[in-house]
Amino acid sequence: MLNSNLNTEKYDLLITPHLTEGQLPNFLEQALSVAPAGETRDMLLLSLLTNCAYALPAMRMLHGRPHHTYSPELLTMIVAPAASGKGIMNYGRLLLQAIEGNNGKQVYIPANSSASALLKMMDEYDGRGIVFATEMDTLTQTLRAAYGQFGDIVRCIFEHETVSQLRRQNNEFIEIRSPRIAMLLSGTPNQVSPLLRNRENGLMSRFACYVVNSRMDFDDKVWDIDTEGNTPLEAILYDRLASELGDRYLWMETAGHECYFYLSDAQLKTIRRMFRSEYDNYSAEFGDLFDASLKRMPVIMKRIGMILTGLRLDMTQPLPERVVCSDEDFQTMLLIGHKLLMHAAMVFQMMPELKATPVGEIGGNMLQRQFFQMLPTDFTKQDAIEQAQVLGVHIRTLERWLGKYVQTADIEHISHGNYRKISHKKESA
């Protein structure tokens, strides 16, 4: 069951508690059953989506004007403190073991590859694969010398644009047309800036970002054999799911044609209304600095919709050449996209140009500082909502601000719905 009653100040940053039981494809419902509620389950969901995309080789969609063809691969980044249960992401990797084993496909590209080695492996893997790293600094360190090139590679794989390189050492020319590479990266907040460097290069906007705000009691070991020597139920479940996903991969791989994913006219109108609203909300906070993330989030959302739809297709029937997103999956992709925007804003704050500083002192934009100053020392969330209404601040923006203030220790969360401002003035000696 995916619904959960969580009384925390960060509840609205979570994804899975807002999903009703049965809202996701049954495949994902089963795969998520091994994770506890909250941020851990959210991390697993994003890992599952990123890995499952590989098993949908025939799925395509058109987006933009002029139309550009996209496949479902995601670039996913989990930002979490140490001991926060990032090991749950390994479950997603287990789903592709049948494709790697039975079908003889090499799926995963080592994160410690140099830019040249990454391109060579992409070429050897026919332009497909997943870069998987549970510590982002591994990727950062190995690619530091060729950072600009790495940035170019990321931008190209997001758009499936041709990546090429002339290796001077042996005069070898490598060209990968329409690369279909996914990335699943995780790391601590202090590993974000070295990898992404700055907001101007556009790398961050191409990632589906998720920020974990707490430590969790989760064992990074996926599972162990119990004392009786029995295989854990989780392992049995994932072996079965891996086999099912392997069958889906073969079904699509051998179909002989592509399956194009579309939104209905009503769905397109809804997503346009959503982003007009989101643009106004985020512009009030960041000006035009966040435009790149707003521009690319619809692509990420539609890729998620494509994955959800692809996992529902009936394998007893021929692969259709065209499929329209169900209203159920559309609502799911809207929810996930909305939450990912909130998390992207948090990652945006981690970038060097916007490094978090105490808001009560100097941080935040003018409207944000005005809001902070209007708050009494002790206040409730309802008090904050009323002040936000006076300033014309959307409640979603307010919730992001409160979360950021708690992170920067400008505000202390006393109890559910109760807060206290913290003075940063230095005490006189």
Question: The tokens of 407 are what?
Answer: 């992170």
Q: At 201, is the pLDDT very low, low, confident or very high (cuts 50, 70, 90)?
A: low
Q: At 213, is the pLDDT very low, low, confident or very high (cuts 50, 70, 90)?
A: confident
CA distance 117 to 123: 10
- Which residues 6+ apart lie within 8 Å of 35 measured at CB? 41, 43, 44, 88, 91
Residue 397 has pLDDT above 50, yes or no: yes
Of the candidates 99, 102, 2, 123, the one whose C-alpha atom is nearest the C-alpha of residue 51 is: 99
Higher pLDDT, 18 or 171: 18
- Cα 225 to Cα 17, 162, 229, 236: the distances in Å are 30, 45, 6, 11
88-102, 254-268, 349-363, range with greatest mean pLDDT: 254-268
Cβ atoms within 10 A of the Cβ of 82, count? Answer: 8
Q: At 263, is the pLDDT very low, low, confident or very high (cuts 50, 70, 90)?
A: very high
If asked whether residues 282 and 380 sit together in one domain, one would say no
Question: The tokens of 185 are what?
Answer: 């990266």
Lowest mean per-residue pLDDT among 21-25, 277-281, 344-348, 359-363: 359-363
Category of 42 on φ-ψ map: left (φ > 0), alpha (ψ -120 to 50) or beta: alpha
Q: How many alpha carbons lie under 13 Å from residue 19 in its C-beta half-sphere?
A: 28
If asked whether residues 263 and 202 sit together in one domain, one would say yes
CATH number (domain holding residue 378) = 1.10.10.10
CATH number (domain holding residue 92) = 3.40.50
Q: Looking at this protein, which amino acid is placed at residue 346?
A: M
Lowest mean per-residue pLDDT among 70-79, 242-251, 343-352: 343-352
If asked whether residues 362 and 266 sit together in one domain, one would say no
Q: Which of 352, 374, 405 is the last residue of a domain?
A: 352
Question: The tokens of 327 are what?
Answer: 């209203």
Domain of residue 402 covers: 356-421
Is 9 within the bounds of a domain?
A: no
Q: What is the pLDDT of residue 357?
A: 42
Q: At 194, is the pLDDT very low, low, confident or very high (cuts 50, 70, 90)?
A: confident
82-86, 281-285, 290-294, range with greatest mean pLDDT: 290-294
Residue 32 has pLDDT above 80, yes or no: yes
3 state SS for the chain: CCCCCCCCCCHHHCCHHHCCCCCCCHHHHHHHCCCCCCHHHHHHHHHHHHHHHHHCCCEEEEECCCCEEECCCCEEEEECCCCCCHHHHHHHHHCCHHHHHCCCCCCEEECCCCHHHHHHHHHHCCCEEEEEECCHHHHHHHHHHHHHHHHHHHHHHHHCCCEEEEECCCCEEEEECCCEEEEEEEECHHHHHHHHCCHHHCCHHHCEEEECCCCCCCCCCCCCCCCCCCCCHHHHHHHHHHHHHHHHHHHHHCCCCCEEEECCHHHHHHHHHHHHHHHHHHHHHHCCCCHHHHHHHHHHHHHHHHHHHHHHCCCCCCCCCEEECCHHHHHHHHHHHHHHHHHHHHHHHHCHHHCCCCCCCCCCCHHHHHHHHHCCCEEEHHHHHHHHHHHCCCHHHHHHHHHHHHHCCCEEEEECCEEEECCCCCCCC
If asked whether residues 360 and 266 sit together in one domain, one would say no
Q: What is the pLDDT of residue 390?
A: 66
Residue 249 has pLDDT above 60, yes or no: yes
If asked whether residues 187 and 208 sit together in one domain, one would say yes
Q: What is the pLDDT of residues 294-341, one digit of tens each?
A: 999 999 999 999 999 999 999 999 999 999 999 999 999 999 999 999
Range 160-170 average pLDDT: 75
Bridging pattern class, strands 75-79 and 208-211: parallel
Q: At 196, is the pLDDT very low, low, confident or very high (cuts 50, 70, 90)?
A: confident
**Cis omega (within 30 of 0) for bond into 66:** yes
Contact 246, 102 (CB under 8 A): yes
Q: Which of 323, 352, 381 is the last residue of a domain?
A: 352
Bridging pattern class, strands 411-415 and 418-421: antiparallel
The phi and psi torsions of 132 (rounded to 5 degrees) equal -120, 125
Lowest mean per-residue pLDDT among 58-67, 183-192, 257-266, 400-409: 400-409
Q: What percent of the chain has pLDDT over 90?
A: 39
Q: What percent of the chain has pLDDT over 70?
A: 81
Its pTM stands at 0.78
Q: At 2, is the pLDDT very low, low, confident or very high (cuts 50, 70, 90)?
A: very low
Q: What is the pLDDT of residue 11?
A: 42
Range 364-386 average pLDDT: 78
If asked whether residues 142 and 254 sit together in one domain, one would say yes
If asked whether residues 327 and 391 sit together in one domain, one would say no
Question: To 10 degrees, what angle do helices 136-143 and 147-159 make?
Answer: 120
Higher pLDDT, 369 or 395: 395
If asked whether residues 257 and 345 sit together in one domain, one would say yes
If asked whether residues 253 and 373 sit together in one domain, one would say no
Q: Which of 331, 352, 373 is the last residue of a domain?
A: 352
Bridge partners (DSSP) of residue 76 are 184, 208
Residue 126 has pLDDT above 50, yes or no: yes
CA distance 280 to 93: 38
Range 388-407 average pLDDT: 77
118-128 b/e (C-beta count within 10 Å ≥ 16 → b): bbbbbbebebb
Lowest mean per-residue pLDDT among 201-210, 350-359, 386-395, 407-416: 350-359
- Cα 401 to Cα 193, 278, 369, 397: the distances in Å are 21, 15, 10, 6
If asked whether residues 252 and 363 sit together in one domain, one would say no
If asked whether residues 216 and 327 sit together in one domain, one would say yes
Residue 356 has pLDDT above 50, yes or no: no
If asked whether residues 311 and 414 sit together in one domain, one would say no
Number of domains in the chain: 2
